[in-house]
Chains A and B, each alone.
Chain A
Amino acid sequence: MSGKVKLEEISAADFFYRNRSLAGFDNPVRATYTIIRELVENSLDAVELAGRSPKVLVVMKEEREGGEENLPWYRIKVADNGIGMDPEEIPLAFGRVFVSSKYRLIQSRGTFGLGGTMALLYGQITTNMPFKITSAKEGEPIYELTMMIDIKKNEPIILDKRVKGISRKSFTIVESTFEGNYPRAKRKIIDYLQQTAIVVPYISIVFMDPEGHLYIFPRSTEKIPPRPKEALFHPKGVDLELLQRLLNSTRTKSLESFLVTHFQRVGKKTANEVLKIAGIPPDKRPSDLTDEDIRKLYEALRSYKGFLPPDPSVLSPLGEELFESGIRKELQPEFVKAIQRPPSVYEAHPFIVEVAIAYGGLIKPTGDIQLYRYANKIPLLYDASSDVSYQVIKRIDWSIYGIKNPEDEPIAFFVHIVSTKVPFKTVGKEFIANVPEVAREIELGLRGCARELRLYLGRKRRKEMLLKRYELFKMYYELISWTLEEMIGERPPIENLIWRIKEGLGDEDERG
């Protein structure tokens, strides 16, 4: 959908066909969830680029009833008012299995293109039905393409192509049929959509499910976080393979120029120092390097201590205000505090941690830690207890923040990590590894939020205490006043005293 993205072909669709489980299509339940997720994420990327009143609409219907032997077929339709696509882009974007180019460094939701295409391919494999893409750019004709993918050749087959008038607005609609299991995937899907709504409070998401339920997650703000800038790789953030590919494709004529051109924070002086360590003359042509030279260069890049830290401007965090706004709109907490930590670095990858704590409202105690995890604005829904955030929360003594036991209180934790390389522990990309630098940022952030929570709870508890005290005093002073009237024949007015209690003025040594 995002037409200006550089794409590069990798292996055939065939590969995916044989390795479905790797991408989250292991079974019909998981596949149902993954399809929605991949298509929604593509749309989110598209609307973020367009920027005006962003909306994503998902409609899912049962197309063929399931039976004893067969699962039902579903027709899914995902529409967005994103940037739209030119007709020639469409087959390339959806008709082949691609991976995004690795020649640039930018924070993005995932590997754009691959997931979306896999979702469509899964539909084709399970139902043998074509999929349909309808898209237009503002003021241009609407194109409707009915397509399939030739798995062997990894090529799009356009079955039908229609032009339908001029569109006033940009949009894209993706429609596909697949075999799945909605009832069992439902909870995960709704969780995913709600958690997504929290992290993209500037995008409206609407979902009509096959059971006829309508889920609306309206946006709560007009503000959209700034787009991340593209940046060059940091020299410490490349692996040997990537270095080799950069060397193969560079147009630079010398190694010195190669290092300065393709890496951030490398000037001529630094380049020469690195090459000196590697023992390679600065004017050597990149194409002339032997495998041994490349290995030496790689090791020099790893061992050189003089690089400046990587540039965090490639990152696109949500910001405290938007984060709080998203949490407020979905969970209506009585308290919410988000903190964005300053940029930090692990293994030469820049990252920013944003955390939040919310209390009360729709958040109810569940007997478990309520943790919402996000990586580059994508909610992580599986393996929460293996995640670094969970472990950090577990090791904090919450009682010092006025929380006896986070499992038994209406408290929710939110951790968002943005990075050019999120330190996922596994291929499944469902939880984040216990990287000390990351853990430290999460802990500092959560503690910062918790301090605010403690103040809030202190004020709240004090208010409740004052109210209880006020009621107690009112009751007893009414009785005392009556008793005195019985004895001395007049009833002393108690309002002055009671007022003092209401203002929190009672006995000094009783407060605090």
Chain B
Amino acid sequence: MRMSVDDVKSRVLEVAREVAEAIKEGKFPELEYPPNTQRNIVFDERVGYIFKPTFYGKIKGSHSKSLKTLAGVLYGMSRALDHLENGLTMTKRDFYYLHKVEKLKGTLFPEDQRETDARIILMELILGMPREAFSITSDPRGWIYGDIELIDRSGRVLKADQVGEMGYSVPPRPENIKFKRIGVKAVVAVEKVGPAKNMIELGIPEEKKIAIAILQGQASRSMRRFLRMLSDEGVPLAVLTDLSPWSLRIAATVIYNSINSAHIPHLATPEARFIGILTRDVEEGFFKDYKFALEPLTQADYKAALDNKSLPNLQNEFWQRENDWFLQNRKKAELEIFKAMSPSAKTLKEYFIKYLSEKLEQHLGVSI
């Protein structure tokens, strides 16, 4: 995973030379790659999704239909190389705009961004590396707040509880980060910004020696990678989300990775535990007297619950039972339910601490 810029460049050039060689010899070039289809992806609950290529696809330069793909991948690589050499990064949107150029009219000029996004995945599969390695990064999304000292790629030592009110903003390529000191008992990854910020504002991380990771929806690749790095350092990781069909996926993606990025290693944290909100919390636990605060499922939510029935990483009994609850009750619980329990700030802190203590003890054996 840790690839130097030179490694990346030489891999890209290797592909380019291979193609050039074939053309010079009058042969139609071909690029072989393992497609990220379910055929090449194995699910193992202990490690999450594993990319195990057994079947390879070919982009054939002799085939009029895959000719565009071949040209697209090579053009994409040429832009990546150009960015790497000049120390520039680009977003997926940038990459899309790199195709909206005069020269590509009639050939690679895209109809919409989906076209170029798909090609980025293909480049990852051909080159065998995540897009961040060849300078296509996402806007940073995700923060960590708590007593953690880390050294970033520029060599600066940063304290994750002293770099802003939401903590350290996890950068697009976190592999280069080193941990200097970790003073927390556990990390709680929270789906939503609002409740997470409240926990920080109420001083819970300092008081209870935990770190709060703010996912802001589906965890970004960089956030997942960062959480995995923390877990590798031996820090227990808890995932706290809404109780909704989507949130099941968010939790499962942190734990097991997703099919879409299954070809990127080190994004799953199978040691992480999903601590809530669980159906049990609503039915007989923490929120049993607050059923009135549940939200109805929308049409899209319900559809997501139906789709969840076939997701490989949600197949075990626990996930399916949780998911069935949505189909039966057509309700969901959001993290904001804490506000419904306690309109006053003082009791809110008590409820947060009570909930987290119970859950961390119960699921991770961590006492706070």
User: Is the pair B67, A476 in contact by a Cβ cutoff of 8 Å?
Assistant: yes
Q: Which of B21, B70, B77, B103 contacts A487 (CB 8 A)?
A: B77
- Which chain A residues lie closer than 8 Å to B82 at the CB level? 486
Main secondary structure of the interface of A (DSSP, over half): helix
Mark contacts of B106-139 with chain A using CB atoms, 8 A cut-off: 1 yes-contact digit, 0 otherwise. Answer: 1110000000000000000000000000000000
Q: How far is the CA of A481 from the CA of B82 in the complex (A)?
A: 16
Q: How far is the CB of B295 from chain A (nearest CB, A)?
A: 51
Nearest A-chain residue to B74, judged by Cβ? A483
B24 interface hit (Cβ, 8 Å)? yes
Given contacts A488-B13, A488-B16, A497-B28, contact A476 B23 (CB under 8 A): no
B363 within 8 A of A: no
Contact A477-B23, Cβ < 8 Å, known A488-B13, A507-B28: yes
Interface status of B26 (Cβ within 8 A of chain A)? yes
**A30 to B142 CA separation, bound complex (whole angstroms):** 91
Any A CB within 8 A of the CB of B331: no
The stretch among B57-65, B157-165, B188-196, B205-213 that forms the contact with chain A is B57-65
Q: Are B71 and A480 in contact (CB under 8 A)?
A: yes
Q: Determine if B81 is an interface residue (Cβ-Cβ < 8 Å).
A: yes
Contact residues of B between 8 and 29, Cβ < 8 Å to A: 12-13, 16-17, 19-21, 23-29
Report the interface size class on chain A. 20 to 34
Q: In residues 24-68 of chain A, which contact B (Cβ within 8 Å)?
A: none
User: Within the complex, which residue of B23, B62, B108 is in contact with A507, where a contact is CB–CB below 8 Å?
Assistant: B62
Q: Which of A150-158, A208-216, A431-439, A467-475 contacts B (4 or more CB under 8 A)?
A: A467-475
| Chain A neighbourhood of B70, CB < 8 A | 476, 480
Count B interface residues, CB 8 Å: 35
User: Are the C-beta atoms of A494 and B71 separated by less than 8 Å?
Assistant: no
Q: Which residues of A sit under 8 angstroms from B77, Cβ to Cβ?
A: 483, 487
Judged by a CB distance under 8 angstroms, whether B68 is at the interface is yes
Q: Known contacts A486-B78, A496-B26; is A479 also within 8 Å of B108 by CB?
A: yes
Q: Are A484 and B62 in contact (CB under 8 A)?
A: no
What distance in Å separates the Cβ of A455 from its nearest Cβ neighbour in chain B?
Answer: 24
A496 to B27, CA, bound (A): 8
For residue A493, CB closer than 8 A to chain B, the reply is: yes
In the complex the two chains form, is B64's CB within 8 Å of A488's CB? no
Q: How far is the CB of B59 from chain A (nearest CB, A)?
A: 12
Contact A487 B64 (CB under 8 A): no
Could you tell me the distance in whole angstroms from the C-beta of A424 to the nearest C-beta in chain B?
Answer: 55
Decide if B302 is an interface residue (CB 8 Å cutoff). Answer: no
Within 8 A of A (CB), among B45-71: 60-65, 67-68, 70-71
Is B325 close to A, CB under 8 A?
no
Which residues of A (481-505) have their CB < 8 Å from a CB of B? 481, 483-484, 486-488, 490, 492-494, 496-497, 500
Q: How far is the CA of A475 from the CA of B104 in the complex (A)?
A: 10
Alpha-carbon gap, A336 to B64, bound state (A): 33
B75 at the interface (CB under 8 A from A): yes
Nearest-Cβ distance from residue B94 to partner chain A, whole angstroms: 17
The reply to whether B23 and A483 form a contact with Cβ atoms under 8 Å apart is no
14 A-B pairs (CB sep. < 8 Å): A472-B67, A475-B106, A475-B107, A476-B67, A486-B78, A487-B12, A487-B13, A487-B16, A487-B81, A490-B20, A492-B21, A492-B23, A497-B27, A500-B28
Q: Footprint of B on A, CB under 8 Å?
A: 469, 472-473, 475-477, 479-481, 483-484, 486-488, 490, 492-494, 496-497, 500, 506-507, 510
Given A476-B67, A480-B61, A483-B77, 9 other A-B residues pairs in contact with their CB atoms under 8 A: A480-B29, A483-B74, A484-B19, A486-B81, A487-B13, A487-B81, A492-B19, A497-B61, A506-B28
